[in-house]
Structure 1
Amino acid sequence: MLEIPREILDAAIAQAQEGFPLEVCGLMGGTVKRVASRYPMTNTDASNEHFMMDPKEQFAAVKAMRAAGEDMLVIYHSHPESPARPSQEDIRLALTPNVCHLIISLENREEPVARAFRITAGVVEAVAIEIM
């Protein structure tokens, strides 16, 4: 179970809509299973099929999370034209342990879909989201 405040999820969805047709990405911090903060990142690949976070932004976000007593709980990104499920590339590049991967699908732009997953050694497990 992953608890995400409505305003944080809405902000991530808005970022995905604003970045369309490219993938957007970011991090979310919090404690245990409750998200408390969001850190939008620049997709340095500027692609609609994959993303790469700006390393300086990542470092600053992790530093801010630590200062706030938070852990990195979520790595999120959008799928502008495909479903909210990990692609083969998402699975291959899921190397950060103990985080959820939140995927926001804009396949239907009027009804975005957000789903969370744990990806460990190539194994994908769905994670329930509770919107707070």
Structure 2
Amino acid sequence: MTKLCILNVVGLTQKLLRHAPNLAAMGNHRPWTSPVPAVTCTSQATMLTGLAPRDHGVVGNGWLYRDTQEIRFWQQARTLVEGDVFYDRYETAKMFWWFNQSTTAEYGATPKPHYGCDGSKVFDILDWS
């Protein structure tokens, strides 16, 4: 079976990778050109699908819900990403990526903060196997 490990490390350049020789020696690596806008949700949806933002539909970190005129940030539902994701064809552990809610990955963990009505934010994690 072919093994694949994708590490999403924001800001890791070829120059910085030289300072992590054990990581660099793990296999083939190549730089990735981020989409525009180069924000978390858009970039991760592009990595997961191989599609441009206009095709997978994630064009920012927030969504405007026209019916309530609310902008909701950091939505986690897999259903927000249009198109097939590469991990549907593999046994996958999808750790700390966005769009993990209702994912088909067999194993996972994702940050899931809770927002209080008073504006507070409490960090939490959803996980499954």
Alignment TM-score, normalising by the size of structure 2:
0.30
Alignment TM-score, normalising by the size of structure 1:
0.29
Which structure has the greater CA radius of gyration?
Answer: 2
Q: Which has the higher strand share?
A: 1
